[in-house]
Amino acid sequence: MKRRRVAALISGRGSNMAALLAAAESPDYPAEIALVLSNRADAAGLAHAATRGVPTAVVDSRGFRGDRAGFEAAMEAEFGRHGIELIALAGFMRVLTEGFVTRWDGRMVNVHPSLLPCFPGLDTHARALAAGVRLHGCTVHLVTAGVDEGPILAQAAVPVLPDDTEATLAARVLIEEHRLYPAALAWVAAGLVRVEDGRAVLSGVDAASGCLANPLPSAPVLSKR
Ligand code: GAR
């Protein structure tokens, strides 16, 4: 099996990138993380990647004020140096140009901390709490030009509990991100995904595994009168 060479793009902590690295340690995994690239030199995840022996690069977005195409060209020069075939956005907090997204069409995935199309953008957990939703979660999707749009590969749902804060809800969702992202990236790397009418179609993947509900709901508890 030829493992596809993936660049994981981060801007901070890098826990999703770490989950991808851990998955890719299995020889059966169809991708290897060949590069961890950050737009910030102080991204904590860079150190984790380095300790695992994964090549890292910093393309500091602040050096390209207003020149997004220049920033992306610098990233793509790094991708070229490392033979990158796929991109996994993992907490990468820069909006990409349509040109870049088009060049990587079908070859770039993102993890987002909400059940898209609900709550695209920032502050997803606070917005979920404010909206009073009972289910929240995360989505892995192919990247298209619209922010947090693009064909959905997989989603995981978690309950929103009465005492939740932004932090407790984020932590519950993050556990699912770490399960979901390696699975969905593997489908793309293994060539199991095609797009029809703007939706992702998975071949050879158990249909239910693309829509994880976790935890499964327990029987309702009725209060006794
Ligand atoms: C994750 O929750 C990821 O879903 C989110 O940023 C966090 C990064 O954490 N991404 C976005 O909001 C992108 N729209 P990590 O650096 O520990 O993986």
Kindly report the CATH number assigned to the domain that includes residue 20. 3.40.50.170
Q: Decide if 157 is inside a domain.
A: yes
Q: What is the pLDDT of residue 225?
A: 45
Q: Decide if 66 is inside a domain.
A: yes
CA distance 136 to 86: 28
Q: Decide if 14 is inside a domain.
A: yes
Q: What is the pLDDT of residue 12?
A: 97
Active site residue 136: no
Q: For the CA atoms of the chain, what is the radius of gyration?
A: 18
210 CB under 6 A from ligand 1?
Answer: no
Residue 39 marked in a binding site: no
Q: Decide if 178 is inside a domain.
A: yes
In a 10 Å sphere around its CB, with 0-12 CB exposed, 13-18 middle and 19+ buried, how is residue 92 labelled? buried
| Size of the chain in residues | 225
Q: What is the pLDDT of residue 209?
A: 65
Out of 48, 82, 112, 136, pick the active-site residue: 112
- The number of distinct structural domains making up the chain is 1
User: Which atom of ligand 1 is found nearest the CA of 17?
Assistant: 18
Residue 16 marked in a binding site: yes
The C-alpha angle with vertex 49 and arms to 44 and 54, in degrees rounded to 5, equals 150
Atom 3, ligand 1: residue with shortest CA distance? 91
**How far does residue 112's CA lie from ligand 1's centre (Å)?**
6
Atom 8, ligand 1: residue with shortest CA distance? 91
Residue 68 marked in a binding site: yes
CA distance 144 to 31: 21
Q: Decide if 114 is inside a domain.
A: yes
Q: Decide if 213 is inside a domain.
A: no
Which of 143, 177, 178, 185 has most ligand 1 atoms within 8 Å of CB, for mutation? Answer: 177
CA distance 143 to 152: 9
116 CB under 6 A from ligand 1?
Answer: no
**How far does residue 83's CA lie from ligand 1's centre (Å)?**
25
Which residue range forms the structural domain that includes residue 107?
4-202
User: Which atom of ligand 1 is found nearest the CA of 10?
Assistant: 16
Please give the average pLDDT of every successive group of 10 residues along the chain, which has 225 residues.
Answer: 96 98 96 98 98 98 93 98 98 96 98 98 98 97 95 94 97 96 95 96 75 56 50
Q: What is the pLDDT of residue 216?
A: 52
**How far does residue 17's CA lie from ligand 1's centre (Å)?**
10
Kindly report whether the global pTM for this prediction surpasses the value 0.85: yes
